[in-house]
Amino acid sequence: MTHKRNQFSLTAVIAAMVLFVSACTTPMDLLESGAYDESVQLAIKKLSGKKVKKAKYVDALEVAFAKATERDMQEANRLKQENRESNWARIHDIYQRIERRQKNIEPLLPLIDQHGLKADFLFVRVDNLEAEARENAAAYHYGRAKDYLKDAQNGDRAAARKAYAELERIGEYFRDYRDEEKLMLLARDLGTAHILVEVENKAQAYLPRRVENAIQSFPVGDLASRWNVYYAEPNANIDFDYKVVVKIADIRVNPGLVQERTYEDACEIEDGFEYVLDERGNVKKDTLGNDIKVPRKVIVRANVLESLQRKDATMQATIEFYDLQTKQMIDAQPITANALFEHYASTFWGDPRALSQESRNRIGSSPRPFPADEELLLQAAEKMKPAVKRRIADRSSLMI
Q: Give the per-residue pLDDT at 12.
A: 47
**In Å, what is the CA distance from 278 to each residue of 45, 111, 150, 275?**
87, 100, 109, 10
CB 102 within 8 A of CB 109: no
Domain regions of the chain by residue span: 2-124, 134-191, 192-400
Query: What is the C-alpha separation between 396 and 219, in angstroms, rounded?
Result: 16
Length of the chain: 400
Q: What is the pairing mode between strands 293-323 and 257-275?
A: antiparallel
**In Å, what is the CA distance from 259 to each residue of 14, 65, 244, 308?**
59, 83, 42, 5
As a CATH number, domain 192-400 is: 3.30.160
Q: Give the per-residue pLDDT at 15.
A: 42
User: Residues 271-318: pLDDT tens digits?
Assistant: 888 888 888 778 788 888 788 788 888 899 999 999 999 999 999 999
At 315 the three-state DSSP class reads strand
Q: Which of 185, 40, 45 is nearest to 121 (CA)?
A: 40
Q: Give the per-residue pLDDT at 275.
A: 81
Whether pLDDT at 179 is above 50: yes
| 56 contact partners, CB below 8 Å, separation of at least 6 | 27, 28
Whether pLDDT at 6 is above 70: no
Residue 101 pLDDT grade (very low, low, confident, very high; cuts 50, 70, 90): very high
User: Residues 317-354: pLDDT tens digits?
Assistant: 999 999 999 999 999 999 999 999 999 889 999 999 99
Count other C-beta atoms under 10 Å from residue 238's C-beta: 12
pTM over 0.85: no
At 110 the three-state DSSP class reads coil
CB 91 within 8 A of CB 139: no
Q: Give the per-residue pLDDT at 13.
A: 42
Whether pLDDT at 2 is above 50: no
In this predicted structure, which of 21-35, 38-52, 91-105 has the lowest mean pLDDT?
Answer: 21-35
Q: Give the per-residue pLDDT at 307.
A: 92
At 208 the three-state DSSP class reads coil
Strand (E) or helix (H) holding 94: helix 88-105
Q: How far is CA 52 from the centre of its chain?
A: 50
Mean of all residue pLDDT scores within the chain: 90
Query: What is the C-alpha separation between 148 and 159, in angstroms, rounded?
Result: 5
Q: Give the per-residue pLDDT at 221.
A: 80
CB 98 within 8 A of CB 133: no
In this predicted structure, which of 6-15, 70-79, 234-243 has the lowest mean pLDDT?
Answer: 6-15
Count other C-beta atoms under 10 Å from residue 157's C-beta: 18
| 72 contact partners, CB below 8 Å, separation of at least 6 | 94, 97, 98
What backbone torsions phi and psi does residue 342 show, to the nearest 5 degrees? -145, 130
Whether pLDDT at 109 is above 80: yes
Residue 23 pLDDT grade (very low, low, confident, very high; cuts 50, 70, 90): low
Q: Give the per-residue pLDDT at 273.
A: 80
Strand partners, 252: 314
Query: What is the C-alpha separation between 71 and 266, in angstroms, rounded?
Result: 84
E strands present in the chain: 193-201, 228-231, 242-253, 257-275, 293-323, 328-350
R_g of the chain, CA atoms, integer Å: 39
Q: Which of 366, 387, 245, 220 is nearest to 315 (CA)?
A: 387
Burial of 322 (0-12, 13-18, 19+ CB in 10 A): buried
User: Residues 189-228: pLDDT tens digits?
Assistant: 999 999 999 998 888 777 788 888 888 887 888 888 889 9
**In Å, what is the CA distance from 35 to each residue of 27, 132, 257?**
9, 28, 75
Q: What is the pairing mode between strands 228-231 and 193-201?
A: parallel
